[in-house]
Amino acid sequence: MNQLQLPVPSSDALNASQALCQHIAETIDAHGGWISFADFMRLAMYTPALGYYSGGATKFGGAGDFVTAPEISPFFGATVAATLAHVLDEIGHNSASILEVGAGTGQLAAQILQELERRNALPLHYAILELSGQLRERQRQTLLTLVPHLIARVQWLDALPEDFVGVIIGNEVLDAMPCELVQLADGQWQQRGVMVSEHGFAMQNRPIQSAQLAAACEPLPTIPNYTSEIHLEAQGFIAALGQSLLRGMIILIDYGFPQREYYHPERSMGTLIGHYRHHTIHDPFFYPGLTDITCHVDFTAMYTAAEGSGLSLEGYTTQASYLLDAGILDLAQQLPTTSIDYMKSAAAIQKLTTHAEMGEIFKVIAFSKGLTGDTAPGLRGRDRSGEL
């Protein structure tokens, strides 16, 4: 789309974006005129008070830039709760907690708590690890509105806990983590980074210095100008989750592919995109701080990182298979079939589960430590672990 047709930000939003650009330009200058793309993305998304997630952008929902599954239907969180209840049952509700990473507006937390209460299966605590102070406050408000009587169980953490027992859940968190960009140029893999040109921010390649990044380029096809993403931060995050978890399960839901599909010769421009007011943006420098920047998840890399930190793969499947096996249709059928709510729910469930929408591109990957019970609801359907 012609970017001239996109909605123009308010003057306050423009001022905030300009202040962020100034901060990023000064950081680039302080680093000798170049920072890696991952460092640029971290600044654009998480600079306190100005970054996309840390600043005032609406982000979620119709008035924001994108919608996520818990914003589409409360049945999403209620269905996820079926998996959580199964694990809490095995461990014991009085000794197990839930930890949600990257909780957005707090909708998923509210949906899970409501459903676990209905099942008489509330955990000891519901902890949230959230980088954005602005979103922490939004989560608190959502929970105070939807589950005020359960707010005492909710804790906000500043870092991953030690020896965590229970379930760690994250929806669309890995895709929001800074990724490295690499490009095959002049016969060598180069690290893409950001410099300041006379027209604003611009990409510039540099030889790869890090052995880890160089090794991560090995599965990529050697096609001139092939450009893609490497997810070192997300891999480090999975390894940290593995170290934090003493016993229980980790469930991560996100869009992405296994490595063979991710680094397909035809995906020669990678998956990096922006979201701005429900438009897809291909310029990563479009209104920094007002545009979400994201890339798909390489689930093979996540699996490798998990295995390296002592986690076992519990299952890998599509969102459609996960939600249907965990009982999303049974939950929706509790509504009277003639009600408006039922019709809205049917449309939302279709969006979450059909191949053409979120059912196939979104995947669910689950890891465990110290569990011996039956396979949890959601993971008993078509397992795709062989593709990793």
Ligand X SMILES: C[S@@+](CC[C@H](N)C(=O)[O-])C[C@H]1O[C@@H](n2cnc3c(N)ncnc32)[C@H](O)[C@@H]1O
Shortest distance, CB of residue 2 to ligand X, whole angstroms? 26
Q: Which of residues 217-246 bind ligand X (CB under 6 A)?
A: 237
Q: Which of residues 106-145 bind ligand X (CB under 6 A)?
A: 108, 129-132, 135
CA distance to 206, 265, 296, per residue, from 259 (Å): 24, 12, 11
State which residue, 91 or 231, has the beta carbon closest to ligand X.
231
State the Cα–Cα distance between residues 49 and 148, nearest whole angstrom: 27
Shortest distance, CB of residue 332 to ligand X, whole angstroms? 19
Number of residues this chain uses to bind ligand X (CB under 6 A): 20
Shortest distance, CB of residue 318 to ligand X, whole angstroms? 17
CA distance to 146, 203, 310, 316, 330, per residue, from 182 (Å): 44, 11, 29, 27, 45
Rule CB under 6 A: say whether 104 interacts with ligand X.
yes
- Do residues 22 and 256 lie in contact, with contact meaning Cβ atoms separated by under 8 Å? no
Rule CB under 6 A: say whether 103 interacts with ligand X.
yes
State which residue, 78 or 91, has the beta carbon closest to ligand X.
78
CA distance to 55, 192, 199, per residue, from 20 (Å): 10, 21, 16
Scanning 167-175, 181-189, 193-201, 338-346 for contacts with ligand X by CB under 6 A, the matching segment is 167-175
3-state secondary structure of 9: coil
According to CB under 6 A, which one of 167, 176, 241, 272 is a site residue for ligand X?
Answer: 176
State which residue, 77 or 258, has the beta carbon closest to ligand X.
77
Side chain identity at residue 344, one-letter code:
K
State which residue, 217 or 253, has the beta carbon closest to ligand X.
253
State which residue, 154 or 220, has the beta carbon closest to ligand X.
154
Look at phi and psi of residue 381 and say left if phi exceeds 0, alpha if psi is from -120 to 50, else beta: beta
Q: Give the strand pairing for 188-197 and 35-36.
A: antiparallel
Q: Which of residues 73-102 bind ligand X (CB under 6 A)?
A: 101-102
Shortest distance, CB of residue 358 to ligand X, whole angstroms? 12
State which residue, 19 or 160, has the beta carbon closest to ligand X.
160
Distance from the Cα of residue 67 to its chain's centroid: 12
According to CB under 6 A, which one of 17, 68, 321, 345 is a site residue for ligand X?
Answer: 68
- Do residues 287 and 306 lie in contact, with contact meaning Cβ atoms separated by under 8 Å? no
CA distance to 197, 245, 258, 261, 292, per residue, from 24 (Å): 13, 35, 33, 34, 16
* Residue numbers at the binding site for ligand X (CB under 6 A): 53, 68, 70-71, 101-104, 108, 129-132, 135, 171-173, 176-177, 237
